[in-house]
Amino acid sequence: MPQRRLHSVRISAKESTASKSVETQKQTITRKRFWIGLMIGIVVMIFVFFSRYGVMTHISLRSESAELEHKVIVLRKHNDSLRKVITTLQRDTAEIERIAREHYGLIKPGETVYILEKK
């Protein structure tokens, strides 16, 4: 009988060493899983923020879109004012004459131009 006890004690000592090594292996596997998960998470975050379809690109495109919409509004107002000038010039000969005199220095036949200097 004593041999069986020693043998059983030896088995339990082996079991305790085996269980410790199993725990160590589990901890190692857990650490590896943590680091692999962390690395995958970092790669995903970099992709989400800095890729072609990422958040940063989306924010910059929104800003650019707002700027372009503002430019479109300004250009439409300018086009409207130019259309008004066109219709005025098409209908009002006095306006055409005024622009010809002021901008191009044209005169009617028989007119004399006097240039006054400001002091």
Tens of pLDDT, residue by residue over 55-112, are: 888 899 999 999 999 999 999 999 999 999 999 999 999 999 999 988 998 988 998 8
Query: What is the pTM for the complete model shown?
Result: 0.51
pLDDT grade, residue 21 (50/70/90)?
confident
Cβ 28 vs Cβ 20: under 8 Å? no
Q: Where are the domains of the chain?
A: 1-50, 68-119
